[in-house]
Structure 1
Amino acid sequence: MNQSQANSLKLFTVLTRALQSVKALAEADIKKHGFNPTEFAVLELLYSKGDQAVQKIGTKVLIASSSITYVVDKLEKKEMIARRPCPTDRRVTFVSITNKGREWMDSIFPKHTEALDSIFSSLTQDEKQTLIEQLKRIGYYANSLEFKGDE
């Protein structure tokens, strides 16, 4: 193994462990507000980006399409979101955040962003921006690669 390979392996390990630690803290913060991370992700998407087609939610919040209906059903029962058919395409259903959902997010979201800011407080603003740019570059490049199994 050469030095580049050794550093890449170390980077993968460090990045994975850091993500696990950050994710655990963020999920704990979400759970203390009475929602699971997937429900919160859907609410945050609707809160931040507005109405979304059910079919598009999964790709935007990184959950399997088979789970979307279940999550949307749960949030609808809690009266946090509402479904409405698309007026021009019967195959499409839109999901929107309700007044109850918006009020809840108005009160919880600032606390959640404070928790995230606390998690990343060991970095300066410049370091955060640099890390954002580097991780995007890694992600975009990784998405462009196509690894083939042993042939």
Structure 2
Amino acid sequence: MNLEENNVSLKLFIVLSRATRAIHDLVEEDIRTYGLNPTEFAVLELLYHKGDQPIQQIGKKVLLSSGSITYVVDKLEKKNLLVRKSCPKDRRVTYAVITENGTGLMDDIFPRHKEAIELIFSGLSADEKSVLIELLKKLGYHARS
């Protein structure tokens, strides 16, 4: 890699990092307006769209440690947004189940959250978004290999 390619890679890293931070901050700000923190929202959103989940598996799906998941599940349970339910076939497994209150909250806030994300990304055309998705996938796959 020559010096010019190296400089472009560094610039790309900085621009991508700053863009990611700006987007993350706006999304987090939106989530906090609903009285939730981002991890609480991520767990509720998972249960809302994917149904009951083994608590042990939630961390992998929302990128949290098992200790953090227990804390978040406890907080959501205190807010009456989810409950724990034992698996009838395997008592070692406990499911997180969204409550009626949790579903009602997500019915209310998810469409508004989706609109906020649409607004954040409205600086790009649909074609630009598609190209960016493909390029970021390519970059991510390469970085993992």
* 2: CA distance, partners of 1:74 / 1:138: 36
Aligned position for 1:107: 108
User: Runs of 4+ in structure 1 displaced over 4 angstroms?
Assistant: none
Residue identity matched to 2:109: I
* 1: CA distance, partners of 2:84 / 2:142: 36
Aligned position for 1:123: 124
* 1: CA distance, partners of 2:66 / 2:4: 40
Aligned position for 1:148: none
Aligned position for 1:9: 10
* 2: CA distance, partners of 1:89 / 1:136: 37
**Mapping 1:20-99, distance limit 5 Å:** 20-99=21-100
Aligned position for 1:149: none
Aligned position for 1:143: 144
Query: CA RMSD for the aligned pairs?
Result: 1.1
Q: Deviations over 1:53-107 (max 9, x none)?
A: 1111111111122100000000011110111111222221111111110110001
Residue identity matched to 1:13: I
Q: Give the drift of 1:6.
A: 1.2
Residue identity matched to 2:31: I
* 2: CA distance, partners of 1:85 / 1:142: 39
Q: Deviations over 1:23-45 (max 9, x none)?
A: 10100010011000110010011
Equivalent residue of 2:80, what SS? coil
Residue identity matched to 1:128: K
Aligned position for 1:18: 19
Gapped regions of structure 1 (runs ≥ 5): 145-151
Residue identity matched to 1:3: E
Q: Report the number of matched residues.
A: 144
* 1: CA distance, partners of 2:7 / 2:90: 52
Q: Give the drift of 1:3.
A: 1.7
* 2: CA distance, partners of 1:141 / 1:86: 39
Length-normalised TM-score, structure 1: 0.91
Length-normalised TM-score, structure 2: 0.94
What percent identity do the matched residue pairs reach?
58
